[in-house]
């Protein structure tokens, strides 16, 4: 079967890995490793799996995890910036952490807070932690988010990257059936070039894409 990359729409892809439940392919252009559509969960199945998660607003471990993205983002933002927490889930702790830093944060989640008007506004920053690996159409979704950013704005992404095929085969990250797209450093470099963005490797799984220009009222 001919597959198309879900990020860049390239049709030159190659087999990458197979486990007991699904297959994985890699795009020859952007290097995204993706799961073909026939292995995707239904929306109901996806939501049922998310509902098993136990993250809460009072979970200090969850706060420490999110701080790896929140702290460098807070250091990079100008005072009283306006942002969007895309894929915030049922416990938008990250938005609270950024609000504690003096910023205004809108919320959006496909399942838990589908406030579509939030996707029609402009922002100084957009953050998506542990989100892009769930997207069936990451190219379209990320482009839409990028278009919502003002000049000088930051798209902050947090996702565990692909290191090698050998590690991928043993990787706990692929055991999650809602994880269907896996980025690597090469993928982020392709994305930055595609968006004409400045790319910063902030942490092992935190990546900032900054839009050129300066936003003025």
What is the tens place of the pLDDT at every residue in 159-194?
999 999 999 999 999 999 999 999 999 999 999 999
* Averaged pLDDT, 29-33: 98
* pLDDT band with cut points at 50, 70 and 90 for residue 214: low
Instruction: Tell me the C-alpha distance between 159 and 206, whole Å.
Output: 7
Largest Cα span, the chain: 54
- Give domain limits for the chain: 13-210
* Confidence at residue 217, expressed as pLDDT on a 0 to 100 scale: 40
* Confidence at residue 134, expressed as pLDDT on a 0 to 100 scale: 98
* Confidence at residue 31, expressed as pLDDT on a 0 to 100 scale: 98
- C-alpha pair distances (Å), 106 with each of 19, 55, 86, 138, 180: 38, 19, 8, 21, 26
* Confidence at residue 216, expressed as pLDDT on a 0 to 100 scale: 43
* Confidence at residue 65, expressed as pLDDT on a 0 to 100 scale: 95
Q: Which of 14-23, 48-57, 84-93, 110-119 has the lowest mean pLDDT?
A: 48-57
* Pair of tokens at residue 137: 């159409």
* Confidence at residue 47, expressed as pLDDT on a 0 to 100 scale: 96
Average pLDDT, whole number, for the chain? 95
| Topology of the domain comprising 13-210 | Rossmann fold (3.40.50)
- What predicted TM-score, i.e. pTM, was given to this entire model? 0.95
In terms of pLDDT, which residue wins out, 160 or 57?
160
What is the tens place of the pLDDT at every residue in 100-139?
999 999 999 999 999 889 999 999 999 999 999 999 999 9
């Amino acid at each position: 079967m001919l597959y198309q990359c879900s990020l860049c729409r390239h049709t030159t892809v190659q087999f990458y890995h197979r486990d007991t439940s699904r297959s994985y392919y890699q795009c020859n252009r952007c290097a995204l490793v993706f799961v073909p559509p026939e292995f995707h969960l239904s929306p109901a199945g996806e939501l049922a799996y998310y509902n098993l998660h136990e993250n809460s607003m009072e979970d200090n471990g969850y706060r420490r995890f999110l701080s790896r993205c929140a702290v460098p983002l807070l250091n990079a933002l100008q005072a009283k910036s306006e942002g969007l927490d895309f894929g915030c889930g049922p416990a938008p702790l990250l938005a609270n952490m950024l609000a504690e830093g003096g910023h205004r944060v809108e919320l959006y989640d496909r399942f838990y807070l589908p406030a579509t008007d939030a996707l029609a506004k402009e922002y100084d920053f957009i953050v998506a932690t542990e989100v892009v690996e769930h997207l069936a159409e990451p190219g379209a979704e990320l482009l839409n988010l990028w278009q919502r950013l003002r000049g000088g704005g930051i798209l902050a992404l947090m996702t565990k990257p692909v290191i090698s095929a050998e590690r991928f085969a043993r990787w706990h990250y692929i055991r999650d059936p809602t994880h269907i797209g896996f980025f690597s450093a090469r993928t982020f470099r392709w994305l930055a070039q595609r968006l004409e963005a400045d790319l910063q490797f902030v942490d092992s799984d935190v990546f900032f894409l900054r839009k050129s220009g300066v936003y003025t009222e």
